């Protein structure tokens, strides 16, 4: 059946694309969308005014070393040479930046981007100097290479995001899978083969910076949480913090911080803490459960569901093992546990063996192991055998609760 010609068009389908675009843009966090806007506006302005003197803003190692033009470290990541250049970089930034910003927070991610851009430039200059002044093969090409674009930082973010994801392998454009730790290097080779005028050294330095960050080599440069909180609470940033897309540092996922700062409550500053604490953060440390940290608002110790049963079972098993050792030491024929009064002498021998076991473990004999008549009477009145009660109390060092658990475990 055909639709009548005078029927009104489908308003929902016409408004679908703008609505979806608006929802997609609103889902991008604050800093990631800000970087996309800044890079896009800079490219449009350069396009409108006809500015193409990228040699003045690109990263040029010879200019940085000889004329100390360090501003090129940061201007080079904001300028792009073509529409495809800025389009591809921003399309790659949106998923990477959004994921990292939700984990780290907006201010923390901004600091990490600045740190990665700086470390990329340092690696770039060092490798260029090594290529120009090595005694084997001297080449000034790397010193005079002019690099622009955000792709160097993107390669660093790829390494960090891959490390955060914890996956073992990643797909390269859906064609084949590679080990996760080699994923960035495969992308480096693919882009170098498929595209022209691609800075191999700039991308390689981005990968090196990403691995340096994930392995904790920049720990001494990463401030504590108070540094980011002081920035977020400043008056000049209040208008940005109030925006729904802004993600505060304390609202991120602490398990995703790579690397984790050794002291989250340290004073603000780049070199907060002493030298030993910064160096110790580079060493592998034993993971501490988050349940051990006690919240002042909820005093007490938390316990996961089902954990009490596992702890009780393990304690019962250890007490049963201790009782078995006492029985074996006191009577080789295992005739100590008996309801006949003729085994009183063997019971005293069992106590003597328990004292010897306590002495061997460094516990003074009869410290808590002397069974009180009152405790024996209480447990015997509950229906337990008196001889078993005495052995259980000796194994439990006089603790009635533990003795009851031992007796219950024997009956079960």
- Neighbour-count burial of 200, counting CB atoms closer than 10 A to its CB (0-12 exposed, 13-18 middle, 19+ buried): middle
Token pair in block for residue 304: 């996961």
Phi, psi of 178 (to 5 degrees): -130, 155
Q: Which of 217, 242, 267 is the last residue of a domain?
A: 242
User: C-alpha angle 392/397/398, rounded to 5°?
Assistant: 75
HSE of 373, CA atoms in CB hemisphere, 13 A: 0
In a domain, 336, yes or no: no
Predicted pLDDT of residue 14: 52
- Cα diameter, the chain: 110
In this structure, the answer to whether residues 232 and 378 fall within a common structural domain is no
Final residue before a domain boundary, out of 242, 261, 289: 242
179: helix, coil or strand? strand
259 preceded by a cis bond (ω within 30 of 0): yes
Instruction: Please state, in angstroms and rounded to a whole number, the distance separating the CA atoms of residues 203 and 152.
Output: 5
Residue 218 lies in a domain: yes
Q: Is the dihedral of CA 205, 207, 208, 213 positive or negative?
A: positive
At residue 173, the pLDDT reads 81
- DSSP lists the bridge partners of residue 176 as 172
| pLDDT at residue number 325 | 53
- Residues annotated as catalytic (active site), given as ranges: 151, 203
| Spatial separation of the C-alpha atoms in residues 185 and 175, rounded to whole Å | 16
CA-CA distance, 288 to 274, in Å (whole number)? 22
Classify residue 94: in a domain, yes or no. Answer: yes
Q: What is the DSSP letter of 80?
A: -
Contact 330, 350 (CB under 8 A): yes
pLDDT at 398: 80
Q: Are residues 46 and 191 in the same domain?
A: yes
Q: Are 172 and 186 in contact (CB under 8 A)?
A: yes
Q: Is 189 helix (H, G, I), strand (E, B) or coil?
A: helix
**Are the C-beta atoms of residues 120 and 153 closer than 8 Å to each other?**
yes
**DSSP assignment, residue 2?**
P
Report the distance separating Cα 46 and Cα 82, nearest Å.
Answer: 10
Contact yes or no for 152/206 (Cβ under 8 A): yes
Structural domain includes residue 209: yes
Q: Burial of 368 by CB count in 10 Å (0-12 exposed, 13-18 middle, 19+ buried)?
A: middle
Judge contact between 118 and 73, C-beta under 8 A: yes
Looking at residue 6, what is its pLDDT?
54
Which residues have a Cβ under 8 Å from the Cβ of 162 and sit 6 or more positions away? 170, 180, 181, 183, 184
Cβ-based burial of 118 (10 A; exposed 0-12, middle 13-18, buried ≥19): middle
Report d(CA 157, CA 90) in Å as an integer: 13
Token representation of residue 253: 């996922």
Token reading at 100 = 């990292």
CATH number at residue 66: 1.20.1540.10
Which 8-state DSSP code applies to residue 170? E
For the beta carbon of residue 390, count every other beta carbon within 10 angstroms.
Answer: 23
Q: Are residues 237 and 378 in the same domain?
A: no
Alpha carbon distance, N-terminus to C-terminus of the chain = 76
CB 209 within 8 A of CB 119: yes
Q: What is the CATH number of the domain that holds 388?
A: 1.10.8
Tell me what pLDDT residue 291 has.
41
Q: What are phi and psi of 147, to 5 degrees?
A: -120, 135
Alpha carbon of residue 336 to chain centroid: 55
pTM of the complete model beyond 0.85: no
Task: Judge whether 207 lies within some domain.
Answer: yes
Determine the structural domain holding residue 384 and report its residue range: 373-410
Rg (CA), the chain: 35
Kindly state whether residue 30 falls inside one of the protein's structural domains.
Answer: yes
The answer to whether residue 402 is domain-embedded is: yes
pLDDT at 319 (0 to 100):
53
- Residue 334 class from Cβ within 10 Å (0-12 exposed, 13-18 middle, 19+ buried)? exposed
Spatial distance between the Cα atoms of 34 and 42, rounded to a whole number of angstroms: 12
Is residue 19, in this structure, part of any structural domain at all?
no
> Number of structural domains, the chain?
2
* Domain finish residue from 223, 242, 261: 242
Tokens of 68: 């100390």
| CA dihedral sign of residues 80, 81, 82, 85 | negative
In a structure prediction context, what are the per-residue pLDDT tens digits for the chain, which is 412 residues long?
A: 455 555 555 544 455 788 888 888 999 999 999 999 999 999 999 999 999 889 999 999 999 999 999 999 999 999 999 999 999 999 999 999 999 999 999 999 999 999 999 999 999 999 999 988 888 887 888 999 999 999 999 999 999 999 988 888 888 888 888 999 899 999 999 999 988 888 999 999 999 999 999 999 999 999 988 899 899 888 888 888 888 899 988 644 444 455 533 333 333 333 334 333 443 444 344 343 334 344 444 444 444 444 444 445 555 555 555 555 545 544 444 333 334 444 444 444 444 444 443 444 444 444 444 567 888 887 787 778 888 888 888 877 788 878 887 887 777 6
């Amino acid at each position: 059946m055909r639709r009548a010609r005078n029927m009104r068009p489908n308003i929902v389908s016409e408004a679908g694309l703008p609505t979806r675009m608006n929802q997609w843009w609103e889902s991008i966090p604050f800093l990631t969308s800000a970087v996309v806007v800044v890079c896009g506006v800079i490219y449009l302005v350069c396009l409108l005014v006809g500015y193409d003197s990228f040699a003045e803003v690109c990263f040029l190692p010879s200019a940085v070393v000889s004329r100390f033009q360090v501003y090129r470290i940061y201007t080079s990541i904001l300028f792009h040479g073509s529409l495809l250049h800025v389009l591809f970089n921003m399309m790659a930034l949106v998923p990477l930046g959004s994921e990292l910003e939700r984990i780290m927070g907006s201010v923390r991610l901004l600091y990490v981007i600045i740190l990665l851009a700086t470390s990329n430039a340092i690696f770039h200059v060092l490798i260029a100097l090594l290529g120009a002044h090595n005694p084997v093969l001297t080449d000034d090409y790397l010193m005079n290479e002019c690099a622009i674009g955000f792709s160097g930082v993107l390669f660093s973010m790829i390494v960090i995001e891959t490390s955060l994801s914890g996956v073992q392998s990643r797909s390269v454009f859906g064609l084949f899978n590679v080990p996760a730790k080699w994923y960035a290097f495969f992308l480096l080779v693919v882009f170098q083969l498929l595209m022209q005028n691609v800075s191999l050294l700039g991308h390689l330095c981005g990968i090196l910076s990403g691995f340096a960050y994930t392995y904790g080599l920049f720990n001494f440069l990463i401030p504590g949480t108070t540094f980011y909180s002081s920035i977020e609470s400043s008056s000049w940033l209040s208008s940005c913090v109030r925006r729904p897309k802004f993600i505060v540092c304390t609202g991120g996922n602490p398990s995703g911080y790579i690397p984790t700062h050794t002291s989250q409550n340290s004073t603000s500053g780049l070199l907060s803490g002493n030298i030993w604490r910064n160096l110790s953060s580079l060493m592998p440390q034993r993971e501490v459960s988050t349940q051990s940290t006690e919240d002042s608002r909820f005093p007490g110790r938390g316990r996961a569901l089902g954990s009490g049963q596992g702890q009780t079972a393990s304690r019962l098993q250890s007490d049963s093992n201790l009782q078995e050792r006492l029985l074996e030491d006191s009577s080789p024929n295992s005739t100590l546990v008996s309801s006949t009064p003729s085994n009183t002498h063997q019971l005293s021998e069992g106590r003597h063996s328990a004292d010897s076991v306590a002495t061997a473990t460094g516990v003074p004999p009869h410290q808590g192991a002397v069974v009180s008549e009152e405790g024996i009477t209480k447990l015997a009145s509950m229906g337990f055998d008196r001889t078993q009660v005495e052995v259980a109390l000796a194994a439990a060092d006089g603790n009635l609760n533990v003795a009851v658990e031992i007796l219950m475990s024997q009956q079960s």
